[in-house]
Amino acid sequence: MQKIIKTTLTIILISTMTYAKNIENENVYSKNCIPCHEYLPASLERMFMSYMKIYSGEFTLKESLKAFLRKPDKEMSVMSDLFLDRFGVKDKTDLSEKELEEAVNIYWNRHNVRNKLR
């Protein structure tokens, strides 16, 4: 009986830690990306499609996005001139490399078209 309780507690602990980790990861994206984009007319989803239309592959898209976030440049932006004139180019990210990596991965996983087409 004691053994069963121990095992159950271990499973609950591991599950909680994993969930907490996911929440933390999600937080990197939710805390640092979503708040700013909420007030923009172009959603993160539409922006992703614009990235996809230009960069196509996962590796290419992620690397291009990270490069832009590290050093935003009007020439590098996938948004239209009209949009950029109105809202300007974003500020340089203050996320660490690890956080940036995680945020971009979450962004890719949320919006890429694979496994969503039917």
Partner 1 sequence: MSASKNRDINLLRSNEKQSLIRFLSLYIFLVTMLLLLLGVSYYESQEKLMFSNQRTILSTYANEQVKKLKILHHYFPTKNEYPRDERFESAIYDIERIHIFSTLKNRKIDFDKEIYRVEEKIHFVKYLDDYYLGAKYLFIEIDENRDWYRETIISIIALGIITLTVLGIFGIFFMKLFMRPMKNSVDLLDNFIKDTTHELNTPISAILANIEMMDKSIMSEKNIKKLKRINIAAKTVSHLYQDLTYLVLGHQTKVRDEWIELKELIEARVEYFSLLATPKRITFHLDLETGKLFIDAAKIARVVDNLISNAIKYNRRSGSIKITLRSNYFIVEDTGIGIEHDKVTAIFERYSRFNSSEGGFGIGLNIVKSIIDEYNLTIKVHSVLREGTTIRVSF
Binding-residue pattern over the window 59 to 78 for partner 1, x denoting contact by CB under 8 A? xxx-----------------
Among 44, 52, 79, 89, binds partner 1 (CB under 8 A): 52
Residues whose CB falls within 8 Å of the CB of residue 102, separated by 6 or more in sequence, listed in order: 25, 28, 29
Q: In whole angstroms, what is the distance from residue 84 CA to residue 88 CA?
A: 4
Q: In whole angstroms, what is the distance from residue 65 CA to residue 13 CA?
A: 36
Q: Any contact of residue 41 with partner 1 (CB under 8 A)? A: no
Nearer to partner 1, 55 or 83 (CB): 55
Q: Any contact of residue 53 with partner 1 (CB under 8 A)? A: yes
Q: In whole angstroms, what is the distance from residue 60 CA to residue 47 CA?
A: 15
Answer left, alpha or beta for residue 88, where phi above 0 means left and psi between -120 and 50 means alpha.
left
- Compute the least distance from the CB of residue 81 to partner 1, in Å: 18
- Compute the least distance from the CB of residue 49 to partner 1, in Å: 6
Q: Any contact of residue 113 with partner 1 (CB under 8 A)? A: yes
Contact residues for partner 1, defined by CB under 8 A: 45, 49, 52-61, 112-114, 116-118
